Amino acid sequence: MNITQGWLSAASRLESPNTDQRPDSADISLLVIHNISLPPDQFGGPYIGQLFSNCLDGSEHPYFADICQLKVSSHLLIDRNGEITQFVPFGQRAWHAGVSEFEGRSNCNDFSIGIEMEGSDNIAYTDIQYAVLAKVTALLLAHFPAITSERIVGHSDIAPGRKTDPGPAFDWPRYRKELV
């Protein structure tokens, strides 16, 4: 697994239009872990990719009607089977963090990489997801030295009160142990 021109070699590529230039492409210094499931608490299917590609049909599920107009993306998605999809190259800004702040600095999208775990706050993640996340994280830490273990956070850490992911089901000690 390697990174070439901002793309992860082990990932399927599904480019999102929901991206733009970072203010400083050399300033990648934060990794944000998220979760997503569409519909909520259901796994599999094309819906996450459709959301990040602005192709989600609001009539396919009642929940989709409320979110199909959103313009969001992430750099990576790790699904329940450990498959990786990349939506935005790492040098570009993905639209994953929203209103956010880390160590007094707002607009975390400007300086972060976002990884979505297919999951939900209260459903355990899979063993393969942790293994793949650890491998991807190790590669990102080597490629972007300003990202340190202290600069790996959950969405809830940078948007407290607004976001809860990756949620109580995400085993931070296990993840951090697998990084060593």
Catalytic residues: 116
Q: How far, in Å, CA of 154 to CA of 145, rounded? A: 19
Distances (CA, A) of 142 to 69, 93, 102: 36, 20, 21
Helix/strand/coil for 52: helix
Contact 101, 108 (CB under 8 A): yes
As a whole number of angstroms, the distance between CA 120 and CA 125 comes to 8
127-143 and 172-179 helices, crossing angle to 10° = 50
